[in-house]
Amino acid sequence: STNVPVIWVLGKLAMAILSNSRRLARGCTTTLFPPRTRPHPHELRLRYSQSDSSKLSVRLRPAFAQNPRSFIAASVLLVASGTVWAYYRSPSRDEEMKADRYRPFHISNSKLLTADAALIGIDVSLPALEPVDSPFYIESVYVKHPAVQIERPYTPLSSITPPQGPKDPTDRTEDKSTIELLVKRYQDGDMSTYLHHIKTPGNQLEIRGPVPTWWYPKGEIDELVFIAAGTGITPAIQLLRRTFQPLSPQTPVGLPNFQLIYLARSLESAYLLDEIQSYQSAYPESMNFKLLVADQASNQVSSKLIDKVGRLELSDIRKWVGSNNSNKKKMIIVCGPDSLICAVAGCKGPGYNSQGDIGGMLKTLGYSSDQVVKL
């Protein structure tokens, strides 16, 4: 840890100053006991009893009077080093996830979904997070690569920040949690390759977060459309879990219409398909799901799950999403490779997290930049 050298240096400085003070003190006491003599303890007591205590005090006073600041400095350094040690050794600071500081957490489980995609579970200790009372909320965590000093954002499958406060403020049963990251390995991806290499349970990852990615006030969206490709499905899963999991199928009151269009290379690479379809089955009035694959499987069962084989086209969005209707509060989120984002909503801007101008198919259908989010 980078904090250990700070404490070590402070301690060394304090000990050096104290050692210097002791040498000065020994210089004053040599008049009583020269270095060449080592009196017996009984003789020591006898000499002290026979000495003039007032003279002894006079002789010792200059020892610290010659350098009074050294004693004060040593005391300050000792207190400072103790404070730093207590600060960094506090369990709450060492263990809890922080948005602005990396913490090491253990991998608890991992599962390969395909040859190049894995679900990685990480046990984390959560701080007391302020609830966000809205289903329209996406957040990420940042993972650090220790060798090349880079960080990358990943969207956990479940939201970390609660949608509402606990019934009992003293109830901290959710302090410990497991977050799941869906990681696809790319040949030129340093971080994804590292995560696939270290995914064995028991290994540690350095993580900071949660960091808000996007949010919208509750009740201000009538229809939420999510167009995703590949691992870009993870923010959609987080939204689905945040929206539907706290509810039962009998109480879908006030839910926005959720339209999910998912693009995958094949049915096998359509991640978490069973979970998505379970929401559609449980909330048919609120959830609509369309699946597009580039290559259709040969068996008849899988063909029933696929809505289209091929690329997403303007006619598909016009049919499933429709043109912009000013009477309906509609928000469209696009998440996936840059090629998809550019074709559907226009390319992102050159700056970090810059949305860029609205373009592509959505501009053709009359949507404005304040209705479209590019992740």
Write the CATH number for 282.
Answer: 3.40.50.80
Phi then psi for 287, rounded to 5 degrees?
A: -120, 130
161 shares its domain with 250: no
Task: Tell whether 134 is in a known binding site.
Answer: no
- SS3 assignment, position 252: coil
Residue type, 265: R
Residue type, 83: T
Pairing of β 330-335 and β 372-374? parallel
131 shares its domain with 255: no
- The CA-atom distances, in angstroms, between 270 and each of 136, 230, 284 are 23, 7, 21
- The CA-atom distances, in angstroms, between 280 and each of 44, 274, 292 are 91, 10, 16
Please name the residue ranges forming H helices in 90-145.
91-95
pLDDT, position 254 = 67
191 shares its domain with 163: yes
61 shares its domain with 161: no
40 shares its domain with 73: yes
182 shares its domain with 198: yes
210 shares its domain with 113: yes
Task: Tell whether 184 is in a known binding site.
Answer: yes
111 shares its domain with 133: yes
pLDDT, position 106 = 97
Last residue in a domain, options 89, 111, 143: 89
Phi then psi for 362, rounded to 5 degrees?
A: -70, -35
- What CATH number corresponds to the domain at position 125? 2.40.30.10
What is the rounded distance in angstroms from the CA atom of residue 259 to the CA atom of residue 227?
8
323 shares its domain with 361: yes
Taking only the tens place, the pLDDT of each residue in 116-136 is 999 999 999 998 899 999 999
Tokens of 59: 């002789």
267 shares its domain with 344: yes
Taking only the tens place, the pLDDT of each residue in 329-359 is 999 999 999 999 999 999 999 887 889 999 9
Last residue in a domain, options 216, 249, 274: 216
- SS3 assignment, position 111: strand
Residue type, 341: I
Last residue in a domain, options 68, 89, 110: 89
- CA terminus-to-terminus distance, the chain: 34
pLDDT, position 256 = 83
Instruction: Give the domain range for residue 186.
Output: 94-216
Number of structural domains, the chain? 3
The pTM of the full predicted model, rounded to 2 decimals, is 0.72
Q: Mean pLDDT, consecutive 10-residue segments, the chain of 375 residues? A: 48 56 43 40 39 40 49 55 47 74 97 96 93 94 94 96 64 70 95 97 97 93 96 97 74 77 93 95 93 75 82 96 86 97 96 90 96 96
Task: Tell whether 152 is in a known binding site.
Answer: yes
Tokens of 300: 């008849």
Q: How many CA atoms lie within 13 A of 23 on its CB side?
A: 7
Task: Tell whether 234 is in a known binding site.
Answer: yes
126 shares its domain with 152: yes
102 shares its domain with 207: yes
pLDDT, position 352 = 77
